[in-house]
Chains A and B, each alone.
Chain A
Amino acid sequence: MRTLLLAAIFSGMSFCWTLTVHAQSVGLPTPRLLTTMPMGAKAGSEVEITITGEYLEEADELTFSDPRLSATRILDEAGQPIPFRYLVTVAPDCPVGVHEARVMTRLGISSSRAFTVGTLDEVVRTKPNTSLADAMELQINTICNAVMTQRAVDYYSFEGRQGERIVVDCATRGIDSKLNAVLIIADAAGRDLLVERRGGSLDFTVPEEGRYVIKVHEITFKGGPAYYYRLALQKLPSEASVVRLPSTQTVNSFSWPPTGLPEKPELTEQEPNSPESPQKISLPCDIAGHFFPAADVDVFEFEAKKGEVWWVEVASERFGLPTDPAIVVQRVERTDNSQTLTDVAEFSDIPSPVRVSSNGYAYDGPPYNAGSADVLGQLEIKEDGIHRLQLSDQFGGTRNDPRNEYRLVVRKAAPDFALVSWALHMELRNGDRNAVSKPLALRGGATMALEVVAIRRDGFEGEIELFMEGLPEGITAQGLKIPSGQSRGMMLVTADPNAPRAFGNVTFSGRANIDGETVTRPCRLASMAWPIPDAWSDLPSPRLLADVPISVSGFDFAPLTIAPTTRDAYSVTAGEKLTIPLAQTRRSEFSGAAMKCRTMGAGFEGVPMFDVALTADSSEVVLDTATLKTQPGEYVIAFYGGAVAKYRHRPKDVDVAEEACRKAEEDVAAIDAEVKNLMDNVQAAAPEKKSEIEQALAAAMVKQKAAADALTAATARLKQATDAAAPRDIVDIVVSEPITIHVQPAEK
């Protein structure tokens, strides 16, 4: 059934977002899809949606991460596509959950916006509902798509029957919204009955038949287009468990589950598995449990032999739960009347392999945490005997929530790794984190670096190669491997200057040799839900993406391309110096004469910073393998730095607008002349001709007015284009094309 939802009815949203203009901002203009309205649809339906965002110029194809979602442009009466309007078709077999929506623009593929497929009927709020009197009536088993009104409470109402179990849920952060929702069920007079402010759902048993009110607001009453939500009103059987609305995944969930872990664990905890009556288990084990009730401590007891080595892993926070698991393993010595416990090991967080941003003013690391509050560690048994493993939630002292689950795995070493990556950012300008949120939309001649981080499991120390497959035409990718024992690598994606406009989903993987076998693991991509122009006013909200889309613009080009003068590998003998000539292709003016460059790539990160000229077409860098103590082998490196480009947005539009303006002026001049001529003719005309000429004059004057209007419009467009194309100082992260180096052994 086709559901026609008029998306232009929601209030407070414009098609173009106001862009914060700094004297010097960070990151070139990037297409970002910021909202869709509605934000989801029922499986097996069609829905009209309206999109908004930044730099969505010439937006055409709307794509999704699942092929069972598709979209076509909505046409006006003249058969022309209406900007930003699409008809989305959801196949009946499209999986329920959050999918990625993106739009292809002049600058390439946009950033992603969550689009949810569900099973309930969907509606869109049609008019303001910020008072009890204006409450929007909702049918049971419906999802309402709406945008939070600033400094207001949105009101909904429903009819409840005594004894009915009503669950109210609200998708917000999990679908990329900035809303921290407060949900309230109130009586018909608006008096609060039940409140949820921590992101949970409301589970309400109707006390008596009648009208009830649902209130929704942001915890600090913020609102506006970025604060959208999907409010679900459902009736559930009394014994049914509540299934929350689908949500995107947190970044650190990339490291769960371990490869090959069964979907269901073999054991569940048996309460009371307390310190007084521990639950007996044998190793290895795979157990599911809950941090419930408050201050729950689950204790498992097992026999172990001296010298045994086990790996202990707990997942809970990586399920998206607000928990902080901690484990203590103790050896138990019992006599007739007493018991002595001796600490053997303690486990708490999985540290991030790279320093995580403190979200301070100065950029001090990526705002992506690949670590977790979960547990992953090695347990070495020091004495034969009974041991106990005590698992608790460091955040659970006073919290009574049975939804806080965990899964505990104790296994023999199964070395492995998991990978996650994100677009590289660096300290360019304090406070501005816009560039952290960027799609893989390449300009011709650009190289984009993705920072890749590995969580190594169970003692795996080997090197990990990184690669991409299925790249669009004109795009190449080169991985800078993660060295043995380390956790950070890089993936460089380069668009040829002549690459045609293209878009495609690629496969991004890591490969390693583990115990003699080649193992390939996916590398998940993470991104930000929103650009953050000011790190003090807003916190980044990172999440995992479902896929890895890459595009090249075909229209716009990188301000600066740095490449070696040859694509061939360089060769150097260990202990000697290697000079690499670089060629700069400049397509913009820059502030300053040179760009400070660093080197990325294992073995060469210690290369001192050097200058790349911004006013010349060539530079060179000298790599001293003696100082770097580079061992023989093959290396891939690249150079990177920040350059302030005098960026001009769509300069060719100025030429087009000027031409249109000139044409309009000519039209005006022509029609002015015609009108003058006709006026003269009227004066001179014979009486029998006068009427005919006057009619012609009237018609000409209408044309004259139209021409004048056209000239005014053309002049405005020219001004607009000129303003947009005026040079703006924008700091761009410039990464060179990858360079391969063979370091030969020194002759003895």
Chain B
Amino acid sequence: MFTNDSVLARGPLQYAAWGAFCGCFMALMTVSVDAAEHRVNFANDVIPVLTKAGCNVGVCHAKAGGGQNGFQLSLLGFEPQEDFEHLVKEGRTRRLFFGAPEQSLLLLKASGRLPHGGGVRLTTDSAGYTVLREWIRQGAPYEAKEDPKFVAFEVLPSRGEVGLQQQQQLQVIAKYSDGTVRDVTSLAVYESNDDAMAEVTSSGLVKIQNISGNVAVMVRYQGQVSVFSASVPLGAPVETLPPPKNFIDEHVFANLKTLGIPPSIPCDDVTFLRRVTLDISGRLPTAEETQTFLASSDPAKRDLVVDALLRSPDYADFFANKWTALLKNRRDDTSDIVSNFAFHSWVRDSLLANKPYDQFVRELLAATGTVLGNPPVAWYKRVKEPKQQIEDVAQLFLGVRMQCAQCHHHPFERWSQDDYYSLVAFFSQVGRKPSGTRGEDLIFHKRGIATANNMKSGLALKPAALGDEIPSITADEDPRLKLADWMSSPTNSFFAKALVNRYWKHFFQRGLIEPEDDIRDTNPPTNPALLTALEQHFIASGFDLKDLVRVIAQSQAYQLSEVPNEFNVSDRQNYSRYYPRRLQAEVLLDAIDTLAETQTDFTNLPPGTRAVALPDNSYNRSTPFLRVFGRPEAESVCECERIQSSSLAQSLHLINAPDIKAKLASPQGRAERLLKDARPVEEKVNELYLVAYSRRPSPEELKTAVDYLNETDITIDGQPVDAETLRGENYQDLIWALINTKEFLFNH
């Protein structure tokens, strides 16, 4: 809401405008503007007021949101000409009253003098109100021929170091085509990318909170965006750092040093083995693996474990599970089973063979033929329309969210509708032929010059990739291959960055850019140097996914303990420690099956199939566990579809759901086997701890467990419970207790 006052004076001019009287008729009016007055320019003066007041956001009068009560403005004022038409000419100019400007509907509503769903947006004494009233009084002109155009704006400072609980006032300077500048600090719009770290007032005052790290404030003015990046040091002494193992450590530790955040110590061997096995293979280490690893004195044994895990098909299964959900491998009809299984297998086999990532994406984007002959064709079965195709491709492979630009200029980015439809043009020559299989088409390249019509301008646009020129594409060339060429170019500034950021998040729980698929100038990475280094390393490796996993998992940064020290407990973005996280739904189900020595039965699949190897979402319906623990339905390309938060339903499920009980009591299960096992009970407890936690029990834990297993009990009528029965139940109870610990449920 406006309270400030800043209007610059320009020169005198006469404006001619359409006015209305009593809303019944229109007449040509002549309005005088005194030479000493500022001549109001609609785009330069009025639009910023409307934007600052929030009139043109989605829930109010933005056209994209429907426009409340028929009053429609372009989102965030990206289309001043259209807004002018709506404001001045629509509804027989009912929104403006030239005879008495302050009685204009626009001002009556905005100031709350007439009931307004959006409340008071402009007080009558605010600068914004004055600008609008003056604009109406001057006859509501759009612009004069000699009026300068807005060119750009600058945020001062653009970056800086701000202490905890300190403040920084930003200044926003707009530049115009005639060389003039203007302080528009009060008119610009501000938004912090992390309110927990920094809040920002409507006047551009940045208030740093109690968390150190890097934070950004997006500043928007006149359809353009800029950013203020603040480094918020903790300032603690960073005296000892683990010796860096690779470039990742150099960048992570350098950032920690700059911020004064001492990292946690490196984790111990058992923690590392469990962590890395879960992160790369989506499973618990076996008891044998744990014992072998702990017994090894090889100084390179951690590196060797990473290599071994990457060689294993478990890696391919686990990462295929990630990718197939993002690529919408969704079962909408029972007949989808063949294409879904084939597609999942293609992803899995590609990962197993370590197909270069650019080749993987190329095969997907430019897929042709039949699903069985070329399974990535299945993607075209689920994502049918070119618009949906480019939106998914941009978000998933480029980290750019283009959806907004279909209808209007992207509010936080530089992407226009032309950019959007130029991307669509890459998919305009995808031909389809009936395949004979219900719901499936043969996909081929349809000869012809690729273009797509900008729905707004009607212009036929040739393929162009996010502002980059693409060499002319002939009618015979499949434009999708050219898009793939552009993506895999070493100079592409999106493709590799999006992937390394996504994979970084996989291992560190938080992307260097967050959300991981919203990479834009106004959402800067928390460690830009690290992101750049990862990107360059990935490109130089030939887009080698296993190499990327290897370099991340072998870094000291990844191997830091999750236990915080006195300084880094609140750190959530600088990787000064490992951030624990709950096991994913599939991984947790497999882990429970492993501990209970049971199998979950999945329709159509061989007994013993792991949950991380499930090909599509259909199993969420048949296996409530997966649904409760947030396995995605593969409806979007966003990783956020996977629910990683905790819920009461999850706790209840683990405590007493029938499937959990059945696993514990399974005649083929571990509890039953241990009951019949003649080994000393201590050895059996050891086995359970090795499987569940990849470690042996502490003496206290061992004693507690053994005592429990040896307990006796009496029935309700006072008779001693059969010892065999009781021991069996006690083994089940012990396993059940282990499952319900955070140490089991979390990767840490």
Contact = CB atoms under 8 A, between A and B. Distances in A.
Contacts of A326: 447
Given A395-B374, A398-B362, A398-B363, A192 B478 contact: no
A180 B338 contact: yes
Given A151-B604, A153-B606, A322-B369, A397 B338 contact: no
A182 B346 CA distance: 11
Contact of A328 (B349, B375, B436, B476): B476
Contact of B370 (A182, A195, A322, A360): A322
B596 to A, nearest CB: 20
B370 A536 contact: no
29 contacts: A130-B606, A151-B606, A151-B607, A191-B312, A197-B342, A197-B345, A197-B349, A198-B372, A198-B373, A198-B375, A199-B372, A199-B373, A219-B338, A219-B342, A220-B338, A322-B373, A324-B369, A356-B436, A358-B434, A358-B436, A359-B437, A359-B438, A392-B476, A395-B442, A397-B367, A397-B368, A397-B445, A399-B369, A536-B335
Interface string A358-379: 1110000001000000000000
A395 B368 contact: yes
Contacts of B312: 191
Given A197-B342, A398-B481, 15 more contacts: A191-B311, A191-B312, A195-B345, A198-B375, A219-B345, A275-B476, A324-B369, A326-B447, A357-B436, A394-B445, A396-B368, A397-B368, A397-B478, A397-B480, A398-B368
B444 interface: yes
Given A357-B436, A398-B368, A295 B444 contact: no
B605 interface: yes
Contacts of A346: 447
Contacts of A536: 335, 438
A357 B368 CA distance: 22
Given A295-B481, A398-B362, A195 B349 contact: yes
Interface string B304-339: 000000011100100000000000000000010110
A182 B338 CA distance: 12
A328 B447 contact: yes
B688 interface: no
B352 interface: yes
Contacts of A399: 368-369, 374
B496 interface: no
Interface string B451-488: 00000000000000000000000001010110000000
Interface of B: 311-313, 316, 335, 337-338, 341-342, 345-346, 349, 352-353, 362-363, 366-370, 372-376, 431, 434, 436-438, 442, 444-445, 447, 476, 478, 480-481, 604-607
B374 A219 contact: no
A182 B96 CA distance: 72
Contact of B604 (A220, A328, A397, A539): A220
A153 B609 CA distance: 11
A113 B413 CA distance: 63
Contacts of B337: 220
A interface: dominant SS: loop
A555 B456 CA distance: 75
A363 to B, nearest CB: 13
Contacts of B373: 198-199, 322, 395
B341 A219 contact: yes
The 9 closest A-B pairs by CB, nearest first: A394-B444, A395-B369, A322-B373, A395-B368, A192-B313, A397-B366, A398-B363, A195-B349, A220-B341
B interface: dominant SS: mixed
Interface in A172-202: 180, 182, 191-192, 195, 197-199
Nearest to B312: A191
Contacts of B316: 192
A324 B444 contact: yes
Contact of B606 (A221, A297, A398): A221
Contacts of A297: 476
A63 interface: no
A394 B431 contact: yes
Contacts of B478: 295, 397
Contacts of A199: 372-373
Interface in A232-276: 275
B348 to A, nearest CB: 8
A222 B605 CA distance: 9
Contacts of A275: 476
A206 interface: no
A584 interface: no
B443 to A, nearest CB: 8
A561 interface: no
Contacts of A197: 342, 345-346, 349, 375
Contacts of B372: 180, 198-199, 219
Contacts of A394: 368, 431, 444-445
A152 B606 contact: yes
Given A220-B341, A221-B606, A395-B373, A359 B352 contact: no
Contacts of B604: 151, 220-222
A539 B338 CA distance: 12
A50 interface: no
A390 B476 contact: yes
B578 to A, nearest CB: 28
Contact of A398 (B345, B352, B366, B605): B366
B352 A195 contact: yes
A357 B529 CA distance: 59
Contacts of B438: 359-360, 536
Contacts of B481: 295, 397-398
A390 to B, nearest CB: 7
Q: Which of A195, A360, A398 has the most chain B CB within a 10 Å cutoff?
A: A398
Q: Which of B370, B374, B434, B480 has the most chain A CB within a 10 Å cutoff?
A: B374
A361 B592 CA distance: 44
B605 A151 contact: yes
Given A392-B476, A395-B373, A398-B368, A192 B341 contact: no
A392 B446 CA distance: 12
Interface string A375-402: 0000000000000001010111111000
A421 to B, nearest CB: 20
Nearest to B349: A195
B177 to A, nearest CB: 41
B690 to A, nearest CB: 20
A357 B438 CA distance: 12
A192 B370 CA distance: 25
A380 to B, nearest CB: 19
Contacts of B369: 322, 324, 395, 399
B615 to A, nearest CB: 9
Contacts of A328: 447, 476
Contacts of A356: 436
B368 A191 contact: no
Contacts of A222: 604
Interface string A283-320: 00000000000010100000000000000000000000
B342 A398 contact: no
A321 to B, nearest CB: 10
B447 A198 contact: no
Interface string A503-538: 000000000000000000000000000000000100
A346 B480 CA distance: 21
Given A199-B372, A397-B445, A397-B480, A192 B342 contact: no
B278 to A, nearest CB: 19
A52 B265 CA distance: 69
A178 B601 CA distance: 25
A154 to B, nearest CB: 11
Contacts of B436: 356-359, 367, 539
A553 B389 CA distance: 58
A251 to B, nearest CB: 12
Q: Which of A197, A357, A390, A392 has the most chain B CB within a 10 Å cutoff?
A: A197
B529 to A, nearest CB: 35
B735 to A, nearest CB: 25
